[in-house]
Amino acid sequence: MPHPYIKEIQKICSKHADKEIAKGAKAYLLHQFEFYGIKTPLRRKLCKDFYKSHAIKDHEELTLLVKECFAVPQRELHYFAIELLGHHKKLWTKKTVPLIEWIITHNSWWDSVDSTNTHVISKFFLLYPEWIEQYTGKWNQSTNKWLIRMSILFQLTYKTKTDTTLLSKYIENSQLHEDFFVRKAIGWALRAYSYTNKKWVAQFVKDHPSLSNLSKREALKKITSS
């Protein structure tokens, strides 16, 4: 039986479901997931209101709820779980890392993986920098493309706090990877850092001719347009 917490948010989502929106959202994600059909602004408002009025007592319950949400077919409940974890920052501990890894590797596609970075991963490692190399290093060496993507993108918003030594290492380890999402991540990470240090990025691309054309093109977008 689903946890009462899950049953209640499902009722709320069902109440606001829209078949036409669901149809479009499903097509956008290549028919991989079902949808209630709730646009992002409304979904986030509903979720935030729900989080505030439904307390979670500990990390164990949080983990249970996240995994139960991911067992539901509707994609909005997967987003709900990710943002639920992000909302409960006070419950984060070292035990959160296996849960992050679990989310990245279940029902995986760019939307959920990148959302996990936005709401959880990037913020988690700012709070616990002592765990960065241990875990992101493992991700970078993984055979799972989504974990590799996150090892490259977790510093996306770090600007002057970016560890360029780590960024270089992870990109160099992945530069010959054939997957589109890994190559795109390399370019995206470099482009993001070019807003802080475009000379460093331009030199990095110059020094790494083995980067894919996609990675190079994405990396130099800001530099070539300025």
Q: Once rounded to an integer, what is the mean pLDDT over residues 182-189?
A: 98
Instruction: Verify that 120 and 177 share a domain, yes or no.
Output: no
Does a structural domain hold residue 196? yes
Q: Which domain holds residue 167?
A: 142-226
4/72 same-domain check: yes
Average pLDDT over residues 190-198: 97
Contact between residue 100 and residue 136 where contact means Cβ atoms under 8 Å apart: no
Q: Does one domain contain both 103 and 205? A: no
Confidence category of residue 131, pLDDT binned at 50, 70, 90: very high
Q: What average pLDDT does the structure give for the chain?
A: 97
Average pLDDT over every residue of 86-114: 97
Answer yes or no: do 31 and 96 share one domain. yes
In a domain, 136, yes or no: no
For residue 2, the model assigns a pLDDT of 78
Residue 219 lies inside a defined structural domain of this protein: yes
- 19 and 108, same domain (yes or no): yes
Q: Assess whether 91 and 4 both reside in one domain.
A: yes
pLDDT at 97 (0 to 100): 97
Q: What is the pLDDT of residue 226?
A: 63
Count of the separate structural domains present in the chain = 2
Q: Are 147 and 181 in contact (CB under 8 A)?
A: no
- Claim to verify: residue 100 and residue 194 sit in the same structural domain: no
Q: Look at residue 125 in the predicted model and tell me its pLDDT.
A: 98
pLDDT at 136 over 90: yes
Segment 111-132 mean pLDDT = 98
Instruction: Confirm whether 207 is domain-assigned.
Output: yes
Average of per-residue pLDDT across 58-73: 97
